[in-house]
Structure 1
Amino acid sequence: MTQDIVFIEALKVDTVIGVYEWEKSIQQTLQFDVEMRTDVRAAAAIDDLSKTVDYAVVSEDIVTLAKENQAELIETVAEKVAERILTTYAVASVKITLRKLGAVASTQSVGVIIERDKNEFL
Structure 2
Amino acid sequence: MDKVFVKGLRVDAYIGVYDWEHEQTQPLFLDLTMAWDQTAAGGSDALSDALDYDTLSKAVVALIQARPRQLIETVAAEVAQLILTEFNVASVTVRVEKPQAVAAANTVGVEITRSRA
State whether residues 36 and 93 of structure 1, in contact with CA within 8 Å, keep that contact through their aligned partners in structure 2: yes
2:52 corresponds to which residue? 54
Residue identity matched to 1:37: A
Residue 44 of structure 1 and its aligned partner are, at CA, apart by 0.6
In structure 1, what is the Cα distance between the partners aligned to 2:88 and 2:19?
Answer: 39
Identity of aligned residues (%): 44
TM-score by length of 1: 0.93
Unaligned runs of at least 5 residues, structure 2:
none
Residue 103 of structure 1 and its aligned partner are, at CA, apart by 1.2
1:92 corresponds to which residue? 90
Q: What is the SS of the residue equivalent to 2:98?
A: strand
State whether residues 52 and 90 of structure 1, in contact with CA within 8 Å, keep that contact through their aligned partners in structure 2: no
2:100 corresponds to which residue? 102
How do 1:1-122 residues align onto structure 2 when only pairs under 5 Å count? 3-119=1-117
Residue identity matched to 1:19: V
TM-score by length of 2: 0.97
Residue 69 of structure 1 and its aligned partner are, at CA, apart by 2.7
